[in-house]
Structure 1
Amino acid sequence: MAGTDRTGEWISGGPAIVLVEPQLGENIGMVARAMANFGLSDLRIVNPRDGWPNEKARAAASKADPVIDGARVFARVEDAVADLSYVTATTARPRDSHKIVIGPAEAGARLRARMEAGQAAGILFGRERFGLSNEEVDLADEIVTFPVNPAFASLNIAQAVLLMSYEWMRSGEELAGRPRFDAPAAPPADKADLYRLFDHLESALEERGYFFPAERRAPLTHNLRNMLTRPGFSAQEISALHGVLRALRKAPRDAS
């Protein structure tokens, strides 16, 4: 659709868009174009199959060069979201998870509220072929799914980003009538702090034989991470939990 005004203000900012192992440069370029359409600029790419930078991505972006030029590449999902405090994961498939599931409009409003409160936020998008793994969804706070035809639910990555980007921009209008002020809340911890708590807790449980036999480790870890991502811990609460774990690790192990 034509209508671009090159003299207009270039809107930027918004939540981080995190693409997990995208395959085609063209798809990344179309994602960048969708982001630019709705004022998003923080593109993060985890292990792009065809490497980065990618000229096919730039060509498909149709002049969304600021998004392409600012894109950052990461080796792991954990690294890509480490500085964020609120992360949603998009998926079309039901998950073995107790995370809250919301639609794109509600997700846009929640992202807007978080970011206007000074919190860094982002959205995870999975691979073209099979989306996000359960382990990657475990790293997010909530799940976003789209109201699509159940007999044909698959969206390509650019479509999914376009829908979420649109809801992000639209949420700015929907939240215009909010109260002028609200009770202050403790800022949530960055994901890097939460993931360090995962490691601390799991290593402490390993010492105490919690993951015995070995085949119990994956489902137990999945359940623990689901529980720990739900509350939205503050940095102070994460610090307190580390202190609890350190104290428990000093305690003598029960011989029984």
Structure 2
Amino acid sequence: MKTNNITFILHKPQLSENIGACARALKNFNFTNLCVVNPKPIYPNDKILATSVGAKNIINKSKVFNELGPAVERIDYLIATSARFRNKNIKHISLVDLKKINFNKKVGFLFGSEASGLSNNEISYANYTLQIPTNPQFKSLNLSHSLIIIAQYVSSILKSKSFNYKKSKKVKSASRKEILAMANLCIQNLDSINFFKPKEKKPIMLENLRNIFYKMELSDKETRILSSVFASLGKNVD
């Protein structure tokens, strides 16, 4: 099983040393795709390259984004790592559950910043949340440590398991880009009718909408149908 379908995404990393160590961890287990979203240090810099040791090629070919949305739009299944349980209607999985993931699809693992992790808004982009089992009295893990645990576990799955998923030629899963476009159209039309009231609750309402859309695992045909529905509703408002 090839590893080029799998991407590791660092959201707002704060320390150059951690970014470099993450790149090194990826190369340890034969992964090559690294995305960095809105990093605090200048990227790349000498310290990042130095701590990446023999993995400078991963840093040099990594992709950098200013926002999370564009970074994940081509991901089929996004798995967000979190040290705490989220009281959200989103699927929570464990390391063992990764064996059920179809790694023939484009899979992304999302990691939050060292200081604050991932917010509920960022979690809302994910299909699943994953918690690494640790000491309940001390759950905090270093960013690169979290990444290397998952990288090693996924690597072992890919080496030991052959995936024989039967895929109908008539059914194609919607891409994250298509779902984002559909969601944005829905939000735009809801904005036009002043749906998001009171205004201070709009962020949480947007989180809930994204959770609904990503949890549905829509096909591209279903996404087109819903987009047409939202577009028609928008015309009726005018």
TM-score, length basis structure 2: 0.91
Q: Which has the larger radius of gyration?
A: 1
Report the alpha carbon displacement of residue 181 of structure 1 after superposing the two structures with TM. Answer: 5.5
Match of 2:94 in 1: 103
Which residue identity does 1:187 align to in structure 2?
A: K
- Stretches of structure 1 lacking an aligned partner (at least 5 in a row): 1-10
Per-residue Cα deviation, 1:227-248 (whole angstroms, up to 9, x for no partner):
1110111222211111011122
Q: Give the Cα separation in 2 of the matches to 1:252 and 1:61.
A: 54
From 221, 233, 236, give the equivalent of 1:248.
233
Corresponding residue for residue 4 of structure 1: none
TM-aligned CA deviation for residue 87 of structure 1: 0.7
Per the alignment, in what secondary structure is the counterpart of residue 251 of structure 1?
Answer: helix
In structure 2, the residue matched to 1:238 is 223
CA distance in 2: counterparts of 1:230 and 1:101, whole angstroms: 12
Aligned length: 236
Query: Which of residues 47, 51, 54 is equivalent to 1:56?
Result: 47
Among the aligned pairs, what percent are the same residue?
A: 28
Distance 1:130 1:250 in 2: 42
- Give the 3 Å change call, closer, same or farther, for CA 217–12 of structure 1 in structure 2: closer
1:18-70 CA-partner distances (Å, limit 9, x unpaired): 00111111101110111011111001101111111211111111211221221
5+ long unaligned stretches in structure 2? none
More moved, 222-231 vs 150-159: 222-231
Pair 1:216 & 2:207 matched: no
> CA, structure 1 residues 96+56, in 2 after alignment: closer, same or farther (shift >3 Å)?
same
TM-score, reference length from structure 1: 0.85
Q: Is the 8 A contact 1:27 1:157 kept in 2?
A: yes
Stretch moving more, 121-130 or 191-200: 191-200
| Number of the residue aligned with 2:132 | 146
Distance 1:108 1:131, change over 3 A: farther
Q: 1:62 to 1:12 in 2, by over 3 A?
A: farther
Q: Which portions of structure 1, spanning 4 or more consecutive aligned residues, are displaced by more than 4 angstroms?
A: none
Q: Deviation string for 1:101-132 (max 9, x for gaps)?
A: 1112322551xx2x32xx32211100001101
Find the counterpart in structure 1 of residue 142 from structure 2.
Answer: 156
Say what the alpha-carbon RMSD is for the aligned residues.
1.9
In structure 2, what is the Cα distance between the partners aligned to 1:191 and 1:127?
Answer: 23
Does the alignment pair 1:187 with 2:172?
yes
